Amino acid sequence: MKFDEAYDKVLKGTATEEEKEFVREQVRKAEQIENLMKAENRAPVTVPADTATIKKARKQMTVKGAGLVLLIVVVALLVVAGAVCGGIFGTAVSSAKKAETIDNVYAEALAETAAVGFIEKNRGSVVVDTLITDFDKDLEINASRLRDSIYVYYIDVHIMTDDGRIYDIEVAVNSGTGHAQIVDVDME
């Protein structure tokens, strides 16, 4: 039996004795619960709130919501940036590896030959000794066509000549073509 239906019948005066007894019992239970709550000095379930409290709660929810939205946007942008960078660098590195026909040992020999030829041709000195002092392998990305990206070896060659001069020459060697180019010449 439902309390709402039985209570309506009691109010209309059409309730049976059984329905009347049911309503009385439910009212007694409600009064007992109310008395227990009063005896324990419990606060009511709902408390009226002032305007300041409501505004503060709204502000907290707004700040939390905005922070969450900002966090989601930043994470999404990082994921997109990672995917784009992965696609760009993945393609460039893969293409550079495929185009690489010269290993580092051969690149050192080409750089040394280019440096010695430069000194003998442009300085008029005879090379007495050479030493490779630095070796870097850099990815050169062709921005207009990623599939044309290559590795370039940057090699520093330390050269001593017969007249006592010491040169530090930086040579760039294209790993695909083997072309060696003098980048920088320093005399100590």
Per domain, the residue ranges of the chain are 3-39, 48-188
Q: Give residue-wise pLDDT tens across range 105-117.
A: 899 999 999 998 9
pLDDT in tens, 102-156: 888 899 999 999 998 998 888 777 888 888 888 888 888 776 777 778 889 999 9
Average pLDDT value for residue range 45-53: 73
Express each pLDDT in 76-111 by its tens digit. 999 999 888 887 778 777 877 787 888 888 999 999
Report the b/e string of 122-153 with b at 16+ CB within 10 A: ebebebeebeeeeeeeeeebeeeebeebbbbb
Given this model, what pLDDT does residue 163 score?
86
pLDDT at position 140, please? 80
Angle between helices 17-39 and 3-12 (to 10 degrees): 110
DSSP 93-157: HHHHHHH----HHHHHHHHHHHHHHHHHHHT---EEEEEEEEEEEEEE--SS-GGG-EEEEEEEE
- pTM equals 0.53
Is 5's pLDDT higher than 90?
A: no
3-state SS assignment for residue 58: helix
Mean pLDDT in residue range 18-23: 90
Residue 77's CB: how many other CB atoms inside 10 A? 10
Share of the chain above pLDDT 70, in %: 95
